[in-house]
Amino acid sequence: MTLRRVIFSIVQIIFDLLIFNLCLFAARVNLNFQIQVFLTGAVLAFFLFSSMYGFRSWSFWEETRQCMRSCLYVFSLSMLFLFAEKSRIPLFSLTLSFAMFIPLCLLVRYFFKPLLFKLGLFSKTVIILGAGDAGEILAGRIMTSPFTARKILGFFDDDNDKQGKTIVGVPVLGRLSDFERMQGELQAEEAIISIPTASREELSGILAKVEEMTAHVLYVPNMYMLTTSAAEIRSVDGMPVISSSQGLLNPANRLIKNTIDYIGGFLALILFSPLMLYSACKIKRDDGGKILFRHERIGQGLKPFKMYKFRTMVENAEEILREMLKDENLRREFEEAFKFKDDKRITKIGKFLRRTSLDELPQIFNVLRGEMSLTGPRPIVQKEIDLYYGQRTAKQIFRVKPGMTGFWQVSGRNDVEDYQQRIDFDLYYIHNWSIWLDIIIIIRTIKAVLKGSGAY
């Protein structure tokens, strides 16, 4: 670790310890000096053990998970210590202090670390070998997350159509054969090989060149959308294998998810009932038609169900649709996305409901009926299965309930142009499910709705 990293790590430690002690004071946790030193030291020890001061290229969500996990350990250890010492510390006060510390700690990190990365103090320069779908997705995630601490210098790819172009704002600098020559000028600190379709021989040759000239090499495997986030590299008598499991196939995890859905659905109904009542009144006042729209979608086990939404279109929407589909350009747009960006059938209040996603709120009833989940794959129509999914892929995805929101929705929503990419996002969710992933999706959904991104 360089001297610069040591200095900024010490600064981060001071911030964390100062915030922790301020939270203890604000929660009125009366501790003697020895116990306060013990708790402060425990926070520091667990944060150090969890690499919270290593300025790693984590996403904000990974940093949040590590922070919460470390605080849970410290809290549990604190309770055991205080019980052993027979200290009369109110449980509520101690819990409140940690409840304040976690968001404040993350808030400081949210601004402090990206600021250092923007100043170029800890960010790595990166080149990506392979500008296909995997490379494009990877570059997009690096560029949209301020916590990855990476600056992409460019792509290298052998595709003639990609030469001289930019992909997600990153230039294609040349072919794979140009890497050795240009790396001497670029001096990239890290290289990411993102050519999932490369043969073993091709990959071996690429690795040999890259490892000679780059300090750190990452590799995206050809199962990048199917490998779970919980995957581990293990050894079977010296042979490396990837260990992977799917959380939603575990009956205990399904029970937990269903429980969360029912509790969350009930709370959401209470929380959003004023907005739902307001929306219903506006729709009825607008044209006097039906408030709810029921549409047949494919559910768990490929069984159809009626999905509820607030009606956002005129009553004779089907007649107007038939007229619109006579236009070849509109018909092509509808066949690709099953909706229009500029839909003449949408009412005035309907535009507002769609822009704010309030039209989706009646799906809470689907959740409470056990037909949908708060988070899950996209609820689709049978025609989408026939045209894009196929029975095998559809069965794989809809082993679980479709969701009000999901990984696809928070990864671009309707702005995702490639339909296969939408399917890949749903497959990724199925293979990588965890309670933590659901929490991230819900938070990112709220953020996307507030920004109005991708909604129409």
Partner residues linked to 308 by β-bridges? 294
Segment 402-416, tens digit of pLDDT: 999 988 777 754 554
Q: What is the pLDDT of residues 342-377, one digit of tens each?
A: 777 888 888 888 888 889 999 999 999 999 999 999
Strands 166-167 and 170-174 come out as antiparallel
Task: Please state, rounded to an integer, the average pLDDT across all residues of the chain.
Answer: 81
Predicted confidence (pLDDT) at residue 128 exceeds the cutoff of 80: yes
Provide mean pLDDT across the span 55-61. Answer: 68
Beta strands 232-236; 166-167: pairing state:
unpaired
What pLDDT is stored for residue 297 in this prediction? 94
Whether the predicted pLDDT of 1 surpasses 50: no
Please tell me the predicted confidence (pLDDT) of residue 66: 84
pLDDT of residue 338: 66
pLDDT band at residue 212 using 50, 70 and 90 as cut-offs: confident
| pLDDT at res. 2 | 63
Q: Please count the other Cβ atoms lying within 10 Å of the Cβ belonging to residue 214.
A: 20
Task: State the pTM of this model.
Answer: 0.64
Helix, strand and coil in the chain, % to nearest 5: 60, 15, 30
Tokens of 154: 């460019």
Question: The tokens of 17 are what?
Answer: 């310890």
- Of 377, 366, 451, the residue nearest 407 (C-alpha): 377
pLDDT at residue 118 tops 80: no
pLDDT of 241 strictly over 70: no
291-344 pLDDT, tens digit per residue, is 998 989 999 999 999 999 999 888 777 777 777 777 777 777 776 666 777 777
229 φ/ψ angles, rounded to the nearest 5 degrees: -70, -15
